Amino acid sequence: MNNPISTLIAWIEEERQRGAPDPQHAILSTTTSNAAPHGRVVSIREIDEAGFIFFTKKGSRKEQEITENPLISLTFWFELYEREVMIDGQAQALSTKQNQIYWQTKTPDSQIKFCSYSQSGSNRIENRDQLEENRTNLKEEYGTKPLPMPERYCGFKIIPFRMVFYTHKEDAFSDVSEFILIDRTWRKSWLSP
């Protein structure tokens, strides 16, 4: 385990093969301008050596908090293997062109779903019926045709600088290894559980 990104990708695949429905979900933690922490589950859409990509809508709490403080943490929990990966990194907004590329990979149903809830200028809605009405109207208008990317669709790439891998062991010491990125090279050390 010398490359933490490759190891994370392998752990996700192992968890998927064992039956986990979507092991690419992770807890994204951000802070408000007054340092209050906030965590929520996000779906990581892409993982490679450059980082981790997820999407949200402009004006959402996570987008606002990342804009105020781009230092974030991301935590994967792999229940079936009792493993955890904790990541510290910096979030960078994707360009409009990058967002457009990802938008085009979404199915029309997924595009309609996003547009149904992103039409609201705020995060509060009067009731759930409002979302259903939005979806119905969009389905009538577009059917199975792709939708144009809404202005509120935005993605972020998390560029990691620290990754910690934890493997629980019932009858032995749990394994905890830390990777810190120094001069573009991951340096590994062991931590006490």
* DSSP secondary structure letter of residue 5: H
Annotation: binding site for FMN: 55-56, 61-62
| Beta bridge partner(s), residue 188 | 179
Side-chain-side CA neighbours of 58 within 13 Å: the count stands at 10
Annotation: binding site: 55-56, 61-62
CA geometry: angle 188, 23, 105, nearest 5 deg: 110
Could you tell me how far CA 18 lies from the centroid of its own chain?
22
> Which secondary structure element, helix H or strand E, spans residue 16, and what is its range?
helix 4-17
Q: How far is CA 155 from CA 54, 86, 147, 150, 184, in A?
A: 6, 21, 17, 12, 24
Burial readout 44-56 (b: 16 or more C-beta within 10 A, e: otherwise): beebeeebbbbbb
How many angstroms separate the CA atoms of 156 and 101, rounded?
A: 13
